[in-house]
Amino acid sequence: MRHRQIATIARFTLLEALRTRLAWLYVIVLALILLTSYFIQQLAITESARLQVGFAAAAARLATVFVLSLHILSSMVREFNDKGLELTLSFDLRRSHYILGRLGGYTLIALLFALLATLPQLLLAPPQAALQWGLSLALELAIVTALSVFCIVTFTQLMPAASFVCGFYLLARALAAIRLINESPLVGGDALSHRVITLLIDALALLLPALDRYAQSTWLADSAPAWAALGANAVQGALYVALLGAAAMFDFYRRNL
C-alpha cells in the first residue's frame, strides 16, 4: 500500500510534466544548442570539431540543470499556492511518502533529460565517451533534483529557492578552480586572512559535492574516463541524494499545514 502511494505520486508528477509540454520545450532547447554548435564550428579557424563538442556538451549540461530545477521549483510552488498539497495530505498519506513520490517522479524526469541530452553527443563524439558523459550527467541531475526539492520545501517561495539552487550549483562547479587559485596567491600567502579563507574553502569542499567531476566536456573532446571515475561519482551522488532527501523530509515534517 505504501509503495503504491509513492508510485502514484511519482506517476502524477510525470503526467504533470507531460501535460505542461516540458519534454517538447527541452527538445527545442537541445535542438537550438546543436544548431548553434554547428554555427560555432563554421566560425572556428582551428580545432573546430573540439570547439563544437565542448560548446554542445557545456551548453546542454547548463540548459538541462536550468530547465529541470525551474520545473521542479515552479511545480511545487504551484501546488503550495493552489492548496493541492493540503488536499493530498488529507488522505491517508505520510509526508515522507509524498516527498519520496515527488523525488522519484522528478528523478525519472531527470533520467529522461539525461537520455535526451546524450543523443546529440552521439553525433559529435565516440559512443563510449557519450555514454559515460550521459551517465555522469544523470547522476549530476539526480543531485540537482534532490537539492531543488529540499530548497522549495524549506523556502516555499520560488525566488529564494531558485537563488539557493543557482548559488549552490555554481559554487560546487567552481570550487575546485577556487581552491587552485587560493593555493598560489601572489601576495599575502602567510597572512591570517588567507589562512582563514583557506580553511573556509576547505570546509566548503568537504560539504559540497564535486560537481566539476561530473559530465566533463573533455570526456567528449579528448578521451573517455575510466569507469572507476563514474563509480566514484555514483557513490557521491547517492550519498548527497540521500542526505538532501532526508533534510527535505525533516523540514517538511516540522512545517504546520
- Quick: pLDDT tens for 51-87: 888 888 899 999 999 999 999 999 999 888 887 767 7
Query: In terms of residue numbers, what domain contains 32?
Result: 2-254
Cα dihedral 11, 14, 20, 21 in deg (nearest 10): -130
Are the CB atoms for 149 and 156 separated by under 8 Å? no
Distances (CA, A) of 172 to 34, 40, 51, 69, 195: 26, 28, 24, 16, 21
pTM here? Answer: 0.91
- How much is the pLDDT for 189? 59
Q: How many CB atoms lie within 10 A of CB 63?
A: 17
pLDDT band at 18 (very low <50, low <70, confident <90, very high): confident
Distance (Å, whole) CA 45 – CA 163: 38
Count the domains in the chain.
Answer: 1
pLDDT band at 20 (very low <50, low <70, confident <90, very high): confident
Greater model confidence, 180 or 69: 69
214-234 tens-digit pLDDT: 988 888 877 767 777 788 889
- Euclidean distance between the first and the last CA atom of the chain, given in angstroms as a whole number: 24
- How much is the pLDDT for 251? 86
Mean pLDDT taken over the chain? 86
